Structure 1
Amino acid sequence: MATHAARLVFLLAVAATLAGRSEGGWCLCRTDLYDVMLQKTLDYACGGGADCRPILQNGACFMPNTVKAHCSYAVNSYYQRSGQNPQACLFSGTTFVSNNDPSANGCLFPATQSAAGTNGTIGVNSPPAFGQGPSANDMSGGTKIFPVAGTAKRAVILACCWLLALYLSA
């Protein structure tokens, strides 16, 4: 009986650890959209508090010099500085949360609030008058599946652990 209790405690500890684990560490711009749409998102993020200095000319993330690349860096900075708040990666459906680190060629995308810093420049561009910022009307961030990446995965893991715990305690 003691071994079943020990197994149950172990499984509950694993389930708690998995439930609290962060999924979806980076906010990125969708590459299937036109540059004009992504430019508005980029402008909003940079004007709204993202650290856009790395995507300025001679910055570590200036290359590739494309709207899509710069947009992803800016929205990720905005998202990280917001503590990975799911609503900080909505941007009217022009962005999504990813589990894959987009860092490449010496350009490091911050994955935490502390890595993104909060004492830098407020932004290098002005936000647009309306329309591209985080939207309270679209809770899906453009994915239309779950508002937070990894929600379904955590729910399935917790359910399996719970069922296994019930089985072992019987």
Structure 2
Amino acid sequence: MAQLGRLLALAALAVGLLLLNMGSGAAAERWCVARKGQTAEALTEIVVKELCQEGAATSENILHDCGPIVPPAGTCFQPNTPFAHASYVINSSWQRRNSRGENVPCDFNGHAALVFKDPSTSAHCRYPSLP
């Protein structure tokens, strides 16, 4: 009888894992965005000095896309907040570097966090994602 109970428990576990895997797909989409709770100054520093420095937009080795957060026509300029701008640029850099096979962690010196919910802010501002 105890053996039957263990067998049923294992079967239930297997079914649960199967359903969990089916619900999330083979590979869940993920995004790397700014970590919440940071100051506007810290986030601006990441965008302006580290990722969108002058000349970055013309570099052949560009690994991020700052154009969408540039006013007034940038598709991701709104919402006009340091958190939103940093999140877009951090994600852009992380996605591009990983798509090139660099296997970069989502950290950016402690300023970023991995999320599994699409952070895109509108139909015009779509954050790229990796499966």
- Pick the TM interval, shorter chain: 0.5 to 0.7
Out of 41, 45, 61, the residue aligned to residue 51 of structure 2 is 45
Alpha-carbon separation, structure 2, partners of 1:107 and 1:75: 14
TM-score normalised by the chain length of structure 1: 0.50
| Equivalent residues of 2:29, 2:129 under 8 A apart | no
1:112 corresponds to 2:99: no
How many pairs are equivalent?
101
Task: Look up the match of 2:96.
Answer: 81
| 1:30-77 Cα deviation digits (max 9, x unpaired) | 121101111122232335621110111111100111111000000000
Task: Note the residue ranges of structure 2 that are not aligned, 5 or more in a row.
Answer: 1-14, 57-61
Task: Look up the match of 2:8.
Answer: none
Alpha-carbon separation, structure 2, partners of 1:29 and 1:93: 9
| Equivalent residues of 1:78, 1:88 under 8 A apart | no
Task: Note the residue ranges of structure 1 that are not aligned, 5 or more in a row.
Answer: 1-10, 114-170
Task: Give the CA deviation at 1:88.
Answer: 4.4
Alpha-carbon separation, structure 2, partners of 1:90 and 1:24: 17
Alpha-carbon separation, structure 1, partners of 2:97 and 2:105: 6
TM-score normalised by the chain length of structure 2: 0.63
Alpha-carbon separation, structure 2, partners of 1:45 and 1:21: 32
Task: Look up the match of 2:30.
Answer: 25
CA RMSD of aligned residues (A): 3.0
